[in-house]
Structure 1
Amino acid sequence: MLAKVFVAAALAVTLSGCVIAVGGKHELNDDSSWKKTQQYNQEQINRLALNTSAEDVRTLLGTPDFTESFNKDGETVQVLFYRTHHVKSDGKTTKDECTPLIFKQNKLSGWGDKAYQYL
């Protein structure tokens, strides 16, 4: 009976140690990942040129965090939002943490908050 208690105690200590190690490492990777993505997006957006195609931007930056699409004055307008700056540590990306990229007729016509406000 004493042997069973000893084995159960050893297993409990071993398993709880594994859970702590896995959880702790995962959180560090998540923090580092969004920071790297954010920095990469900032750097690439700073290098963009007007009239770049939406397809080329998606190839460069990947899937946007948010999208909007609509017609205005007979033109198709698409807005892609990419995370570029940290606002709140809540584990969620929101539009206020993103830079909007505005495309008219599939060509980049502007980016940033001012360009978005002029729509």
Structure 2
Amino acid sequence: MLKKFIRYLILGLGLYALIAASVIMFYKDDPQAMIWQDREAFNKRFIEKLSLEQPTTLNSVLDYLGSPDLTYAKRDGEQVFQIVFYRTQHKTSDGITTMDECTGLLFKNGQLFLWGPSAYNKYQEQN
């Protein structure tokens, strides 16, 4: 009787470990389904890992982070500039996301060009 119990216990723990490992490995985080605190931290972690050595496209950011909180775009001749803002720091509990609560990512023709506090200033300099 005890051997049977131990066998089922080991089988159950093994099955639990297999399911838990599968969820961790194959379940993609969905920023749209997160509560705002988790999404904010998720956005911040992603943005902190950005690098100009690794080309990043607007589509890859949208695929990973989902819809931006704010977005603006303009054309200057053949150049298209788009800045997207993702919330990364909470300031005021008023239900409205403002630019000072976000980090801007500036794209030039769909390629990441600049991000952080200076991104919006650079965007405004464009005609």
The TM-score, its normalising length taken from structure 1, stands at 0.68
| Partner residue, 1:109 | 113
| Partner residue, 2:89 | 85
**Which structure 2 residues correspond to residues 32-111 of structure 1 after superposition, within 5 A?**
33-50=35-52, 51-72=55-76, 74-111=78-115
| Partner residue, 2:27 | none
State how far apart, in whole Å, the 2-side matches of 1:82 and 1:52 are. 16
- Number of aligned pairs? 88
Tell me the secondary structure at the aligned position of residue 118 of structure 1.
helix
State how far apart, in whole Å, the 1-side matches of 2:100 and 2:116 are. 11
> Which has the greater radius of gyration?
1
Percent identity between matched residues is 40
What is the CA distance between 1:73 and its match in structure 2?
5.3
Q: Which sections of structure 1, spanning at least 5 residues, go unmatched?
A: 1-31
| Partner residue, 2:20 | none
State how far apart, in whole Å, the 2-side matches of 1:94 and 1:72 are. 26
| Partner residue, 1:4 | none
State how far apart, in whole Å, the 1-side matches of 2:72 and 2:122 are. 15
Tell me the secondary structure at the aligned position of residue 120 of structure 2.
helix
Partner amino acid, structure 1, of 2:41:
Q
